[in-house]
A and B are shown apart, each in its own frame.
Chain A
Amino acid sequence: MWWTRLKALIVKELLALLRDPKARLILVGPPLVQLLVFSYAATLDVTNIDLVVLDRDAGAASRELVQRLEGAPDFRSVVPVAGEAALAAAIDRQEAIAAISIGPTFSRDIAAGVPAKVQVILDGRRSNASQIVAGYISRIVQGLGAEIAVSGGRAPPPVDVVARNWFNPNLIYQWFMVPNLVASIALLIGLIVTALSIARERELGTFDQLMVSPLRTHEILIGKVIPPMLVGSVHLTLYVLAAVLVFGIPLRGSLGLLYGSALFYLLSVAGLGLFISALAATQQQAILGAFLLLVPATLLSGFATPIENMPEWLQPVTIVNPLRYFLIIVRGVFLKDLPVAEIAAQTLPLALIAAATLTAAAWLFRRRLE
């Protein structure tokens, strides 16, 4: 009996979603845009760098340095300039992100074995990119210095740092980003679909119809939570497939564990969505509410910036954010074989959040009836 009722509700929810052209658009559009934008366009790598060089030395060593800069794949252009004024202008007009000024005694100093100096001027307006460019340039300059030392028969620098990147040896940006997207897409879709479901019925006037039917309140809530979870897991699966098949990202951990924890993640997301839905009177309010939650949830999750970098007073806020825990799980399952104990440790808070949000939503839902 209860199963007949619940099944009818779940089927109806899915049909309402799939037969409404606007809802279909929500299911296809944003996920596709998100996948393309975040994995191709919104890259944090710094490439296509434009550089200007003021070479007042024009000796063998300075020519070698310029050639090495030109040869580096991330530098798009290395343009010589005639004087200080032209150098300043190039930075000022953002024609170049960095300028290298080589003093007149550069080659002579190197030949003489005296420490030679190169000045690098960076555009502080683009602080993040500048730092990365500075890193590239100093690596090239150091490489040149070391080789000259060796060929000159002098001792190489006493400490030689060799960096190896584990889990993502070539530091491919997409290996970092696409697993993140697996988590965030489930949040986006799960939240919007749940938030809209009750608000839509309120707007259409079908909500009363539902409430006078023998469906009990908890059945309605379950019937409202399961369809978004199903839809969310379909999106999650498609993203996992895209990660493996399109982006060639290694899947080193257990898929079963990933889905096991995803169940609790989706539950907690649906709980949040239901909470918004119970509050909102119209679909418009529900969408606004969902985005009001979505943006801070993404920013405070470690999606793009590590939580440890946030100010200490802000960090505790992230404890209630389900995305924070699921991000760790997804990244771990993809790039390293995250152990069961660690997955369980991250799933437990998800289960607690789910319990809290679903209880709150049910309470609010009942209260709105009076």
Chain B
Amino acid sequence: MTPATASQTAGPYWHMIDFPEWADLLRPGSGNEAVAGERITLVGRITDGDGAAVSDALVEIWQAGPDGNYEGAFHGFGRCATNAEGAFRFTTLKPGPVPGRGNAMQAPHIQIAIFARGLMQHVVTRAYFEGEALNATDPVLNLLEDPARRATLVAKSQDDGTWRLDIRLQGNGETVFLEI
């Protein structure tokens, strides 16, 4: 067996592969235009151990469609560059619940991968949705006993369909990152 190739940082100039339209999963030409579901916006701000904005991150999302299917009509991939304030913004449809292992059902969630200068490997986390009944039995959320740690994975509803999940790479309120 040959171990997987070593990861290396994306560096500060990865924007040559930034296509800002990819942050809108419902854009014309996405293939998702005709998929029915609840339109949402996922926003957040990424900060470092000093609370400073991480303004050069590459944020990717991967999610199921509203039917909970990863291989159905909905193409659940998006990419967004953080701006000067460290903020990202995706327009998408709210995912449905997804089967977990065994007979478990996972609460609706969006997988988030972050690449950046200073990250030798990307970090992975999830955005769950506050108030979702299935959160109580979600196998990943339930690995976390500390309510404060658990809360770092749960996006909060703002208004008009906007969900906010701020991400702290290090220090106070550090986001729970996943080994997958």
**A, B assembled together:** no
